[in-house]
Protein backbone atom coordinates (compact mmCIF):
# COMPACT_ATOMS: atom_id res chain seq x y z
CA UNK A 1 0.00 0.00 0.00
CA UNK A 2 1.37 3.40 -1.05
CA UNK A 3 1.75 6.04 1.59
CA UNK A 4 -0.04 9.31 0.83
CA UNK A 5 2.17 12.34 0.43
CA UNK A 6 1.28 15.35 2.51
CA UNK A 7 0.42 18.33 0.30
CA UNK A 8 2.87 21.22 0.44
CA UNK A 9 2.01 23.76 3.10
CA UNK A 10 0.82 26.98 1.53
CA UNK A 11 1.49 30.35 3.14
CA UNK A 12 -2.18 30.99 3.82
CA UNK A 13 -2.95 27.50 5.07
CA UNK A 14 -1.98 27.73 8.74
CA UNK A 15 -3.52 28.10 12.11
CA UNK A 16 -3.03 31.09 14.36
CA UNK A 17 -1.21 28.86 16.83
CA UNK A 18 1.56 28.26 14.26
CA UNK A 19 2.28 31.98 13.95
CA UNK A 20 4.83 33.37 16.44
CA UNK A 21 3.12 34.46 19.62
CA UNK A 22 3.28 38.11 20.57
CA UNK A 23 2.23 39.35 23.97
CA UNK A 24 0.21 42.46 23.13
CA UNK A 25 0.49 43.61 26.72
CA UNK A 26 4.25 43.98 26.46
CA UNK A 27 6.06 47.26 25.99
CA UNK A 28 6.07 48.08 22.29
CA UNK A 29 9.52 48.83 20.92
CA UNK A 30 10.81 49.33 17.40
CA UNK A 31 12.05 45.73 17.51
CA UNK A 32 8.61 44.21 18.01
CA UNK A 33 6.32 46.93 16.57
CA UNK A 34 6.06 45.50 13.06
CA UNK A 35 5.83 41.97 14.41
CA UNK A 36 2.79 42.98 16.48
CA UNK A 37 1.10 44.70 13.53
CA UNK A 38 1.81 41.66 11.33
CA UNK A 39 0.33 39.35 13.93
CA UNK A 40 -2.85 41.42 14.06
CA UNK A 41 -3.08 41.24 10.26
CA UNK A 42 -2.74 37.44 10.49
CA UNK A 43 -5.53 37.41 13.07
CA UNK A 44 -7.71 39.21 10.51
CA UNK A 45 -7.03 36.51 7.92
CA UNK A 46 -7.62 33.62 10.32
CA UNK A 47 -10.31 34.93 12.68
CA UNK A 48 -11.79 37.89 10.77
CA UNK A 49 -11.44 41.66 10.64
CA UNK A 50 -13.78 42.36 13.53
CA UNK A 51 -11.70 40.43 16.08
CA UNK A 52 -8.44 41.77 14.66
CA UNK A 53 -9.78 45.33 14.85
CA UNK A 54 -10.67 44.86 18.51
CA UNK A 55 -7.17 43.54 19.19
CA UNK A 56 -5.54 46.40 17.25
CA UNK A 57 -7.53 49.10 19.04
CA UNK A 58 -6.13 47.87 22.36
CA UNK A 59 -2.66 48.97 21.23
CA UNK A 60 -3.69 52.63 21.06
CA UNK A 61 -0.64 53.77 19.05
CA UNK A 62 -1.87 57.27 18.27
CA UNK A 63 1.48 58.55 16.97
CA UNK A 64 2.12 56.03 14.18
CA UNK A 65 0.72 56.15 10.66
CA UNK A 66 1.21 52.40 10.10
CA UNK A 67 -1.16 51.78 13.01
CA UNK A 68 -3.88 53.89 11.37
CA UNK A 69 -3.26 52.23 8.00
CA UNK A 70 -3.82 48.86 9.65
CA UNK A 71 -6.97 50.09 11.39
CA UNK A 72 -8.23 51.36 8.03
CA UNK A 73 -7.50 48.06 6.33
CA UNK A 74 -9.24 46.10 9.08
CA UNK A 75 -12.28 48.41 8.94
CA UNK A 76 -12.82 47.85 5.21
CA UNK A 77 -16.18 46.21 4.70
CA UNK A 78 -17.21 46.90 8.29
CA UNK A 79 -17.41 50.70 8.34
CA UNK A 80 -16.13 52.59 5.30
CA UNK A 81 -16.68 55.99 6.93
CA UNK A 82 -14.30 54.91 9.66
CA UNK A 83 -11.76 53.79 7.04
CA UNK A 84 -11.63 57.36 5.71
CA UNK A 85 -11.14 58.74 9.23
CA UNK A 86 -8.25 56.35 9.88
CA UNK A 87 -6.62 57.17 6.55
CA UNK A 88 -6.92 60.91 7.23
CA UNK A 89 -5.15 60.39 10.57
CA UNK A 90 -2.45 58.34 8.81
CA UNK A 91 -1.85 61.16 6.31
CA UNK A 92 -1.32 63.66 9.13
CA UNK A 93 1.36 61.41 10.65
CA UNK A 94 3.20 60.54 7.42
CA UNK A 95 6.68 61.88 6.94
CA UNK A 96 7.09 61.45 3.19
CA UNK A 97 5.12 62.86 0.30
CA UNK A 98 5.11 59.45 -1.40
CA UNK A 99 3.25 57.88 1.51
CA UNK A 100 0.75 60.74 1.53
CA UNK A 101 0.05 60.26 -2.18
CA UNK A 102 -0.42 56.52 -1.69
CA UNK A 103 -2.91 57.07 1.13
CA UNK A 104 -4.78 59.81 -0.77
CA UNK A 105 -5.13 57.43 -3.74
CA UNK A 106 -6.52 54.78 -1.41
CA UNK A 107 -9.02 57.29 -0.01
CA UNK A 108 -10.08 58.33 -3.52
CA UNK A 109 -10.72 54.71 -4.45
CA UNK A 110 -13.10 54.36 -1.49
CA UNK A 111 -15.22 57.41 -2.31
For the stretch 12-60, pLDDT in tens is 344 445 444 445 555 566 667 788 888 889 989 988 999 999 988 888 8
pTM reported for the whole predicted model = 0.73
pLDDT-above-90 percentage for the chain: 41
Burial call 23-35: b when 16+ CB within 10 Å, e when fewer: eeeeebeeeeeee
Helix axes of 49-57 and 65-75: crossing angle, nearest 10 degrees? 150
pLDDT for residue 15: 45
Mean pLDDT of the chain: 79
In angstroms, rounded to a whole number, what is the distance separating the alpha carbons of residues 66 and 37?
Answer: 8
DSSP H helices, 16-96, are: 30-47, 49-57, 65-75, 80-93
* 84: Cβ contacts below 8 Å, ≥ 6 apart: 107, 110, 111
Separation between Cα atoms, residue 22 and residue 29, nearest integer Å:
12
Amino acid sequence: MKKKKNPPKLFYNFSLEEYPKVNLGQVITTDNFYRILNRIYVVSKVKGNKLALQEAEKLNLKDNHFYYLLLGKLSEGLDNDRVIIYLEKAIKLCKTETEKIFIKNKMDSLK
